[in-house]
Amino acid sequence: MTHYSWCPVCGAALPPAPDPVTVHTCRQCGFQFWQNSKPAVGALITRRGADATEVLLTRRGVDPHRGQWDLPGGFLENGELPVAGLVRELREELGVEALDPCLVAADVDEYPREDVAEEARFVLCLYFTCAIPTDARLTPADDVTECRWHSLEHLPADVAFGSNRRALALLRSRQEARGRSS
């Protein structure tokens, strides 16, 4: 976490904070710097393929993990509701509408920051299942360079972020459980 030297409110020198620091309080004015996990959303969009269920993955066009596969989604804007953020991200990244979003998982992951060496930003990832219109034309944009459907049984090895891999594993196990109960 970032350790601040000066209070941005009153300008007073700040004492060293204990590790790990989640809140840094100015002794002079009482201002508190909260360092919480940053909220983000991810979409688990599936369709029935020829042989198996497929999930839509996007290729990252930005660091970290540029070039690796990712789930569509991104960071929430300040005060944005998670479903609204999911809808916005799918429009920005793929040019499609999110249909019937349903929260299925939450996870915390580390989002490496090379621009600030001493900071490890943590992200609270909220995963939603959702559909997209069957006639949707997927148009990669924003920080996505490509999108492709992948079989849940044969996912690429280079999926970015541990939380994405865990969400995909949860999705696969739910699909398998549905198959066994049919």
Mean pLDDT confidence for 20-39: 84
Instruction: Tell me how far apart the alpha carbons of residues 175 and 74 are, in angstroms, rounded to a whole number.
Output: 25
Amino acid sitting at position 143: D
Residue 177: predicted pLDDT: 87
Backbone angles phi, psi at 76, to 5 degrees: -75, 150
Residue pair 69/59 in contact (Cβ under 8 Å)? The answer is yes
- pLDDT over 90 (residue 169): yes
AA letter at 51: D
Q: What is the CATH number of domain 38-161?
A: 3.90.79.10
Tokens 């002079």, residue located: 28
Q: What is the mean pLDDT of residues 65-88?
A: 97
For the segment 94-119, what is each residue's pLDDT rounded down to a tens digit? Answer: 999 999 999 999 999 988 766 654 45
**Helix or strand (DSSP H, E) at 173:** helix 162-181
Average pLDDT over residues 57-66: 96
- C-alpha to C-alpha distances, 42 to 8, 13, 76, 100, nearest whole angstrom: 33, 40, 10, 14
* Residue 20 pLDDT level (bands cut at 50, 70, 90): low
Mean pLDDT of 5-15: 89
Output the pLDDT for position 42: 98
Q: What is the predicted pLDDT for the residue at 179?
A: 75
Rounded Cα distance between 127 and 25, Å, is 33
